């Protein structure tokens, strides 16, 4: 199953394998799991703050999207991938749209954890033609980090990555080619091999599940009909 990726930087869109995360919990007991919380301040027009909390276990995923941060954040939407099913939840309407993971509506929309190991990220960045350069040490929120800059050579846009001593990314700040701030993101939580909350990949009680048609079969049928018509014209 090919998953989409979350856009977490104007200059780098990165996918990740769960095995690449540094384990913080008991992998033998809890398995291949992850809980990640990321906050983003967007500077596109009016400043907006959003929070994403993601749960992952093997191929099952849940992404909760909030407006705001901390205790004042408000749930805006939930997406769940469980087995071969994909759900889009609308909290205000208490509706969950269910569709096959193969549906065109689901393709490219599934949430995916983001790579936070700097060594792996820098490999992908360089493959994408970006230029990386160490900027030195910088203190943020009372902690010292090594800052690396990844620059897109044509547009001159760039992202500064704040790297912990462990080699994991804590924060990434993106600017356009004129040094205007575009977004500031950081990880509030990034735990792996931890126990999952019970039923976290289930649709919550009280939601009405709406079965969506498998558009992939309809699409294949339309293509087949088109092929027959073209053959008749010959």
pLDDT tens-digit series, residues 34-54:
899 999 999 876 789 999 999
What pLDDT, on a 0 to 100 scale, did the predictor assign at position 159? 95
Contact 194, 33 (CB under 8 A): yes
pLDDT recorded at residue 219: 53
Q: What percent of the chain shows pLDDT beyond 70?
A: 77
Q: What is the pLDDT at residue 124?
A: 87
Phi and psi angles of residue 172, each rounded to the nearest 5 degrees, phi first: -145, 130
Name the band, by pLDDT with cuts 50, 70 and 90, for residue 8. Answer: very low
Q: What is the predicted pLDDT for the residue at 44? A: 75
Tokens coding 146: 């090594």
What would the mean pLDDT of 180-205 be, rounded to a whole number?
93
What's the token pair of residue 190? 């990034």
Domain locations in the chain as residue ranges? 18-114+184-216
Report the distance separating Cα 76 and Cα 66, nearest Å: 5
Query: What is the model's pLDDT at position 200?
Result: 96
201-218 pLDDT, tens digit each: 999 999 999 998 776 555
What mean pLDDT is predicted for residues 125-130?
Answer: 89
CATH class as words, domain 18-114+184-216: mainly beta
Q: How confident is the model at residue 18 (pLDDT cuts 50, 70, 90)?
A: very low
């Amino acid at each position: 199953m090919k998953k989409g990726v979350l856009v977490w930087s104007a200059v780098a869109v990165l996918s990740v394998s769960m095995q690449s995360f540094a384990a913080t919990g008991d992998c033998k007991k809890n398995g291949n799991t992850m809980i990640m919380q990321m906050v983003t301040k967007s500077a596109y027009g009016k400043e907006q703050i959003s929070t994403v909390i993601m749960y992952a276990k093997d191929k099952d995923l849940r992404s909760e999207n909030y407006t705001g941060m901390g205790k004042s954040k408000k749930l805006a939407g939930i997406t769940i991938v469980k087995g071969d099913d994909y759900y889009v939840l609308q909290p205000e309407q208490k509706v969950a749209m269910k569709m096959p993971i193969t549906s065109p509506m689901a393709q490219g929309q599934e949430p995916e954890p983001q790579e936070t190991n700097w060594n792996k990220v820098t490999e992908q960045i360089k493959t994408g033609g970006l230029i990386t350069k160490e900027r030195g040490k910088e203190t943020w929120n009372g902690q010292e980090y090594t800052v690396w800059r990844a620059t897109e050579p044509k547009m001159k846009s760039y992202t500064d990555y704040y790297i912990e001593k462990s080699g994991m990314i804590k924060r990434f700040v993106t600017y356009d080619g004129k040094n205007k701030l575009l977004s500031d993101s950081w990880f509030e939580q990034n735990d792996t091999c931890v126990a999952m909350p019970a039923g976290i990949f289930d649709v919550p009680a009280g939601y009405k599940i709406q079965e969506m048609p498998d558009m992939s079969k309809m699409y294949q049928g339309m293509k087949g009909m088109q092929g027959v018509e073209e053959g008749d014209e010959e």
